[in-house]
Chain A
Amino acid sequence: MNDEHPSQLLLIGIGGGGARLAAAVHTLYKDAMRMVCIDTDAIANRELISNTIPCILIGAARLSGNGTGGDAVKGRLAIQDDLHLLHAHLQGVRTAIILTCLGAGTGSGVTPEVISALHDMGIATLCIATEPFGFEDESRTTTATRAKAMIEEHVDSFCIVNLDELFQSTSESLIHSAIDATNKILASGITLLWRLLTRPGFLSINAERLHAFILYGGTSSFGNATASGLKRTDALISSFRESKLLRSGDSIAKANAMLVGILAGADLRLTEIGDIMKTLRDWSKTEAQIEMGTVIDPAFDGRIEVVIFCFENSINAVVETKKNPSASNASTTTSIPPAEVFQIQPGSAKRSKSKSKLSPGATGKGKFQNVEPTIYNGQDLDIPTYLRKNIHLDR
C-alpha cells in the first residue's frame, strides 16, 4: 500500500523559475519522484528534458517556443491551448505541489489555469510561489499581485515566499551562492513531503493525511532549520524564532495546523523528538493540530533537520463548516477533520470569497476560440460578459 502513496503526489514546476526550483528538488532528492515542468520556452525546455525532468512545452503554435516575453496573458492562452498535454501526467494523482515564480509571463499566466484545472479534477493543490524582488520593475509586482488573486480562486494551500526575505535568511553574499542557498532551502522543505512518505521512520504520515492537510491548508508558510552537536534541539528552536520564512516564529503561533518533519540519522533520540514537539506545542495555539513524522536517513547522521509547514486556513472554508452552518458560526477557524472520519472530497466543494477576483479563464473564448470575433465598441463579445465586466461569481 505504501508503495502506491508517493505516486499520488506530483511536483509541478511552472515557468523558468518554477522549473529551476523543481530541478533543485530533483537534485536534492536522489530517488525517483513524479514531477513535470511546464514552460513556454523551448530552449529551457530542452535543457530540462536533457536533465531527465519531463517537461511540457505549451503554446508552441502561438509562441513558437519563444516564451511569453513577460506577458501573463500569453502564458494563460498558451496553457489554454495545451492543457490536455498535462492530463497524461495526472494519472492517479491526488495531491500536487506546484512551484512557480510570479511576476513573469509563464509563471503568472499559467499557474492559475493549471491550479483551476487540478481543482476541477479533485486534486488537492499546494502552490509555493515566489514574489519578485523589491528592486525589480513595478510591472512584475503588479503581474504577481494579479496572479496571486487568481491562484487564490482555486488553490487549496498557498505558500508565498518573499524573495527579499528568503535571501536575507541566507548568509551568502555572492548572488550565485545566494541563489543556490535559497533554492536549497525551498527544495529541502518540498523534499520533506516525499521523504515522509517514502522513507518514514518510527512515526509516519500517510498520503491521505498529507492530502487532507493540503486540501484544508489555506494560507501557508514553511521554514526549516538544521543543527548538530549536543544541544542541537535548542539550536533548532532558536533558528525557527529567527526564521524570516516563518515570520520570526509568528507563523507557528498563528497556525491552525502544522506538519512537522524531523530528518535525522540513526542517532536521533526520543527525548529530542519530545523536546521539539513540546516547544512547538507550547508555541502554537492550543487548538492547533500538529502532525509529525520522522525520517531516518543515514545521510543525516550527526545532524538533525526539522521542516515545518504552517497552515493558517484563511483562504478556504471547510466542507464540514458549510454542511453545518452553526459550527461555522461558533468558530472562525477551520479545523482539519480527524483522519478516521475524513472523507475524500474533491477540491471543488468549498470556497468563500470576500471580494471579486478575475477568473483564470479571463481570456477564454471556449467554442468561439477559432471563429471570427464579434467586436462591438472595441470589445470581443465572444468572451463571456461576466469576464469582460469583471463580475464576481460566487460559484
Chain B
Amino acid sequence: MKIPPIAALEIGTSRTVVCVGEVRENGRMRITGVGNYPTTGVRKGQVIDLSQARVGVEAAAADAEKMSGVDVWQVLMTLSGGHIQSTINHGQIPIRASDRVVTHEDVEEVTAIANEMPMEVDRQVLHTIRQTYTLDDQPGIVTPQGMRCNMLSFNTLVVHGHKNRIENVVNVAKNARLDVTDVTFSGVCAAFAVLTPDQKKNGVVLVDFGAGTTNYVTYTNGVVSAIGSIAVGGDHITNDIALAFNIPLYRAEELKRTEGSSIIETSMTSRRIALPADVGFSERTISCKALHIVINARMEETLKILRSRLDEAGVLIHLGAGGVLTGGGAYLRKLSELAQRTLGIPCQIGLPMNVDGLEANFDQPAAYSTVAGLVIYGQKTYEDNGFLSPIRKLFGKVFNS
C-alpha cells in the first residue's frame, strides 16, 4: 500500500509550522518540506484572532509546498492549550460464565463501557486511549481473553478539550483553504516522534515545552497513563524577563535565548549583560544573576506543577526511563538539570528520532517534535484505515498507544 505524502499543521503560540512527510522504502517517514512562520493571534495555545492566525498558516503552507513540491490542501492538525484535560474512565463487568473464563464478548462489553464517557455539552473528546485490563486485583493485563477471573476491569484515558476552542483552531486552517482531516493533542504527537518503545515500556514522561503551553504524556508499561497541559510556556519566561527589566518583549526573547539559564549559574553571578540602546530606552546593563533568578523561578514552578500532576495521577514512581524534554523550550540552558532536580528522575533532551530529514536542516530539531510526530501519526492512521478519515468521523477516535 503506497501512502501518499502527509501534511501536518501546528498553529503554535509563537510560530506556525506546516510539515510534509513521505514514507520511504524502508518504511520510515522522511520530512521533505517544512514551512515555518511567526504566529500572531494566538495566546497560550488558543486562537484570539482568526484572521491574524490565518496569515501564518497560509505562509507556512506555501513554504512547505515550495520545499517539498507537494500540493498542500489536506492537513492533520495538532492542538494544545490549558483547556485540554484527560480523564480515566473505568469499565467493569462480572464474568458470568461458570468457568470464569473471559470471552471475546466480555472484552468487547467492558471496552464499550469504558469508552462511554458522559461529557459536558461544551467538551469535545479528542482521543480515547486504551489502557490495560485488570483481572480481579491483578492489573496490567494486555490480553485478558482466555484468562480466569470474577471481575474484569478496563480503563480508558479520555482526552478532551473545550469544543469551541477546538473548532476555532480548526477554523483557522479552514479559512486558509485547508481541509483538516484529523485533530490530535500535541503531547501525543511529540511522543510518536521522540519516544522509543523501550522508554514507553519502562515508564517515561515526555514534556513538550512550547511557547504557550507545557504538555506532557506519560507511558507506563507501554501504554499512555496520563496526559495533560499546563498553560504556561516559554512566552511566560519572556514576559517575566520583559517585566523584570522593563525591556521590550523581543529583547527579552533574545536575552532568554542567548543568556538565559534554568538554574542560577554561580559562575555568572557577578556578570552584567550589556543591552544596547534602542528606541524607547537607553544603553544599560542588567545583572546576569537576576536574569537567571527570573527564569529559574518560572521554570521551577512549572516543573513543580508538573510533578504534582504526575504524583496525583500516580505515575511518578513508575517512570523508570525518566523524563524526556522536547519542544523549542527544551533548549533553554540547564533545563534538563533543573528538571532532574525537581522531578527526581533522570531527564534528557528528546529529538524527533523516529523521522528523518529534520536534523540536517534545522538547528533545533526538538522544536519540530510535535509536527513531526503528527506526520507519523498520519502514517499510522493510514496504515490502519487505508485512508485519512474526514474530521467529523475522527473526533473522539479510539486508538492504541
- Which one of B43, B244, B246 has the highest number of Cβ atoms from chain A below 10 Å of its Cβ? B246
| Minimal beta-carbon separation of B44 from chain A (angstroms) | 6
- Whether A391 sits at the interface, judged by CB under 8 Å, is yes
- Whether A327 sits at the interface, judged by CB under 8 Å, is no
Considering the chains assembled together, what is the distance between the CA atoms of A108 and B77 in angstroms? Answer: 49
A386 engages B294 (CB within 8 Å): yes
A361 engages B243 (CB within 8 Å): yes
- Whether A297 sits at the interface, judged by CB under 8 Å, is no
B284 engages A346 (CB within 8 Å): yes
Scan A356-395; emit 1 where CB is below 8 A from any B CB, else 0.
0001010011111001101010000110111101010111
Known: A371-B43, A382-B236, A394-B289. A364 touches B294 (CB 8 A): no
A364 engages B243 (CB within 8 Å): yes
B231 engages A366 (CB within 8 Å): no
Interface residues of B in 230-258 (CB under 8 A from A): 230-232, 235-236, 239-240, 242-246, 249
Chain B residues within 8 Å of A394, by CB: 287, 289-290
Considering the chains assembled together, what is the distance between the CA atoms of A372 and B212 in angstroms? Answer: 13
Chain A residues within 8 Å of B285, by CB: 349
- The contact of B239 among A116, A366, A393, by CB within 8 Å, is A366
- The contact of A368 among B43, B244, B293, B294, by CB within 8 Å, is B43
- Which one of A121, A346, A382 has the highest number of Cβ atoms from chain B below 10 Å of its Cβ? A382
- Whether A122 sits at the interface, judged by CB under 8 Å, is yes
Chain B residues within 8 Å of A395, by CB: 244-245, 286-287, 290
Chain A residues within 8 Å of B284, by CB: 346, 348-349
- Which one of A368, A386, A391 has the highest number of Cβ atoms from chain B below 10 Å of its Cβ? A386
B293 engages A391 (CB within 8 Å): yes
Known: A384-B244, A394-B290, A395-B290. A348 touches B282 (CB 8 A): yes
B242 engages A366 (CB within 8 Å): yes
- Whether A287 sits at the interface, judged by CB under 8 Å, is no
Chain A residues within 8 Å of B289, by CB: 394
Considering the chains assembled together, what is the distance between the CA atoms of A122 and B284 in angstroms? Answer: 10
B294 engages A393 (CB within 8 Å): yes
Scan B34-49; emit 1 where CB is below 8 A from any A CB, else 0.
0000000001101010
B236 engages A381 (CB within 8 Å): yes
- Whether A120 sits at the interface, judged by CB under 8 Å, is yes
Chain A residues within 8 Å of B239, by CB: 365-368, 382, 384
- Whether B301 sits at the interface, judged by CB under 8 Å, is yes
B287 engages A384 (CB within 8 Å): no
- Whether B320 sits at the interface, judged by CB under 8 Å, is no
Chain A residues within 8 Å of B141, by CB: none
Chain B residues within 8 Å of A121, by CB: 281-282
- Whether B82 sits at the interface, judged by CB under 8 Å, is yes
A385 engages B301 (CB within 8 Å): yes
Chain A residue at smallest Cβ distance from B238: A367
Considering the chains assembled together, what is the distance between the CA atoms of A387 and B232 in angstroms? Answer: 16
Considering the chains assembled together, what is the distance between the CA atoms of A126 and B236 in angstroms? Answer: 34
Considering the chains assembled together, what is the distance between the CA atoms of A387 and B230 in angstroms? Answer: 20
A384 engages B294 (CB within 8 Å): yes
Considering the chains assembled together, what is the distance between the CA atoms of A275 and B328 in angstroms? Answer: 72
B242 engages A371 (CB within 8 Å): no
- Whether B297 sits at the interface, judged by CB under 8 Å, is yes
Considering the chains assembled together, what is the distance between the CA atoms of A378 and B231 in angstroms? Answer: 15
A371 engages B48 (CB within 8 Å): yes
Chain B residue at smallest Cβ distance from A154: B246
| Minimal beta-carbon separation of A169 from chain B (angstroms) | 39
- Whether B305 sits at the interface, judged by CB under 8 Å, is yes
Considering the chains assembled together, what is the distance between the CA atoms of A391 and B246 in angstroms? Answer: 16
| Minimal beta-carbon separation of A375 from chain B (angstroms) | 9
Chain B residues within 8 Å of A381, by CB: 231-232, 236, 301
Chain A residue at smallest Cβ distance from B298: A385
B44 engages A385 (CB within 8 Å): no
Interface residues of B in 277-318 (CB under 8 A from A): 281-282, 284-287, 289-290, 293-294, 297-298, 300-301, 305
B240 engages A120 (CB within 8 Å): no
Considering the chains assembled together, what is the distance between the CA atoms of A374 and B239 in angstroms? Answer: 14
Chain A residues within 8 Å of B44, by CB: 368, 371-372, 374
Considering the chains assembled together, what is the distance between the CA atoms of A274 and B123 in angstroms? Answer: 84
| 19 contacts across the A-B interface (CB closer than 8 A) | A116-B246, A346-B284, A348-B282, A359-B244, A366-B249, A367-B239, A371-B43, A384-B240, A384-B243, A384-B298, A385-B240, A385-B294, A386-B298, A387-B243, A391-B293, A393-B244, A394-B290, A395-B244, A395-B286
With A366-B243, A386-B298 given, can you name 20 additional A-B contacts, CB distance below 8 Å? A116-B246, A120-B281, A349-B285, A361-B243, A368-B236, A372-B46, A374-B232, A381-B231, A381-B232, A381-B236, A382-B236, A384-B239, A384-B244, A384-B297, A389-B297, A391-B297, A393-B293, A394-B287, A394-B289, A395-B290
The 10 closest A-B pairs by CB, nearest first: A384-B240, A385-B297, A374-B231, A366-B239, A393-B290, A371-B43, A385-B298, A386-B297, A346-B282, A348-B284
